[in-house]
Every structure is written in structure tokens, then in C-alpha cells.
Amino acid sequence: MDFSLFMERYGYKILLAVMAALVITFIAVPIIGIAVTAKKFGLTFGAFLLIIALVSSLFFRRTSEAYAQAHGKYFYDNRKRR
């Protein structure tokens, strides 16, 4: 079996395996890091994560409201239709 026939038969499977490994790695590394940090620092780390989640949700809400107002102002017509 030459290389081109091998790649035609198994190339997409190899590519799928490599991409799946990359995606799993990108997801698993932060989760493992959070788990190790939580085990090391315990309740302090949990409180820190809770504070970060609350503050980020407040900022996300404000930016979402500003984004919605901008779209409402520029992309929707307030004039009455006939």
C-alpha cells in the first residue's frame, strides 16, 4: 500500500483523532488545573471563584444591555408604518 492510498483510506480518521485529542486537551487542562488549585486552597479558592463569577456576570449584564440598546437604536425603525 503506497502513501497516497494509505492517506485516502485512513487520513480522515487520523485527522479526526488528532483534532479530538487537541479539543480534549484544551478542555481538560483548565479543568484539571482548577481541580488541583481547589484541592490545594480549598474554601478560599471556592470563595474567590464565586466572587469572580458574580463580578463577571454583572459586567456581562451591563455589556449585554448596552449592546441591546445600540442595536435597538440603530437597527430597528421606530417610525409608525402606514
In contact, 45 and 37? CB cutoff 8 Å: yes
Quickly count: other Cβ atoms within 10 Å of residue 63's Cβ: 10
Tens-digit pLDDT string for the chain (82 aa): 778 888 888 888 999 999 999 999 999 999 999 889 888 888 888 898 889 999 988 888 888 888 888 887 777 666 665 5
Dihedral angle computed from the Cα positions of residues 56, 73, 77 and 68, in that order, rounded to the nearest 10 degrees: 0
In contact, 46 and 38? CB cutoff 8 Å: yes
Give the whole-angstrom CA distance, residue 35 versus residue 16.
Answer: 28
* pLDDT for the residue 46: 85
- Backbone dihedral region of 42: left (phi > 0), alpha (psi from -120 to 50 degrees) or beta? left
In contact, 14 and 22? CB cutoff 8 Å: no
